[in-house]
């Protein structure tokens, strides 16, 4: 009986020690990242609308799906690199790390992010973890929305205040944010938002 208890205590000790060591290494890794964020001027009203739309969509999902989403958020803290590799949708905006990674060269060129002594690869691997930090998550969403605006032929010439003033334009941008149903050419052809985007934003 005493031997069994000793082995259990030894196992707990090893588990706690391993966890603390992993957390120490992760803290050192994150502390080694050197960068500066310069978010594009996306109005807070648009960011708020998209956060609320994502919350509404999340709340309407099945219990199993919500548990899965919550587990993904928790897993980011346990292993941000694995969350990056699995391409989880995490954070307040449910953004996938690969989505931000895909536009990272453009974001660097636009100086929305300035990597000092940090490589783009190291920064990309930390993107999933950044999604759980509100300020950094805001930067991710704003940068992606700016990319979408510039990518749309008609919206590229519009100012952010003009877009924010028209719920239909915000919904059109949100359609792209959700992936445009994979029909990117059609998304770029017109200014008609998708039905799902309109519903989530509460438009008739």
How would you write 93-108 as a 3-class SS string? CCEEHHHHHHHHHHHH
- Give the range with max mean pLDDT: 10-14, 17-21, 41-45: 41-45
Q: Which of these, 154, 29, 158, 135, lies nearest to 84 by C-alpha position?
A: 29
Q: Which of these, 162, 126, 157, 131, lies nearest to 144 by C-alpha position?
A: 131
Neighbours of 149 (CB within 10 A): 21
Which pLDDT value is given to residue 10? Answer: 54
Pairwise pLDDT comparison (17 vs 122), residue with the higher score = 122
**To the nearest 10°, the Cα dihedral for 135, 82, 23, 21?**
-170
Q: Model's pTM, two decimal places? A: 0.82
Mean pLDDT for the chain overall: 83
pLDDT bin (cut points 50, 70, 90) of residue 110 is very high
69 pLDDT above the threshold of 80: no
Q: Distance (Å, rounded) from C-alpha 88 to C-alpha 95?
A: 8
Over range 42-58, report the average pLDDT: 93
pLDDT bin (cut points 50, 70, 90) of residue 127 is confident
In the chain the first and final C-alpha atoms are separated, in Å, by 69
Residue 3: both structure tokens together: 């031997």
Q: Distance (Å, rounded) from C-alpha 82 to C-alpha 89?
A: 13
The number of residues in the chain equals 204
Q: Distance (Å, rounded) from C-alpha 165 to C-alpha 178?
A: 21
Pairwise pLDDT comparison (49 vs 11), residue with the higher score = 49
22 pLDDT above the threshold of 70: no
Give tens-digit pLDDT for 156-165. Answer: 999 999 999 9
pLDDT bin (cut points 50, 70, 90) of residue 7 is low
Tell me how many degrees the CA angle 18-7-75 measures, rounded to the nearest 5: 30
17 pLDDT above the threshold of 60: no
> Coil, helix or strand for 15?
helix
Pairwise pLDDT comparison (62 vs 186), residue with the higher score = 186
5 pLDDT above the threshold of 70: no
């Amino acid at each position: 009986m005493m031997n069994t208890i000793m082995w259990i205590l030894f196992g707990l000790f090893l588990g706690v020690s391993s966890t603390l060591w992993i957390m120490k290494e992760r803290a050192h890794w994150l502390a080694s990242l050197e960068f500066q964020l310069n978010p594009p001027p996306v109005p807070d009203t648009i960011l708020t609308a998209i956060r609320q739309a994502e919350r509404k969509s999340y709340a309407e999902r099945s219990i199993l799906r919500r548990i899965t989403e919550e587990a993904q958020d928790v897993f980011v803290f346990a292993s941000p690199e694995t969350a990056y590799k699995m391409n989880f949708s995490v954070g307040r905006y449910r953004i996938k790390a690969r989505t931000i990674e895909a536009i990272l060269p453009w974001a660097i060129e636009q100086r929305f992010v300035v990597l000092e002594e940090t490589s783009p690869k190291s920064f990309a691997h930390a993107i999933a973890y950044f999604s759980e930090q509100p300020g950094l998550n805001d930067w991710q969403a704003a940068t992606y929305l700016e990319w979408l605006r510039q990518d749309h032929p008609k919206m590229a010439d519009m100012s952010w205040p003009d877009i924010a003033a028209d719920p239909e334009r915000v919904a059109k941008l949100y359609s792209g944010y959700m992936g445009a149903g994979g029909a990117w050419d059609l998304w770029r052809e017109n200014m008609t938002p998708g039905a799902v985007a309109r519903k989530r934003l509460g438009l008739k």
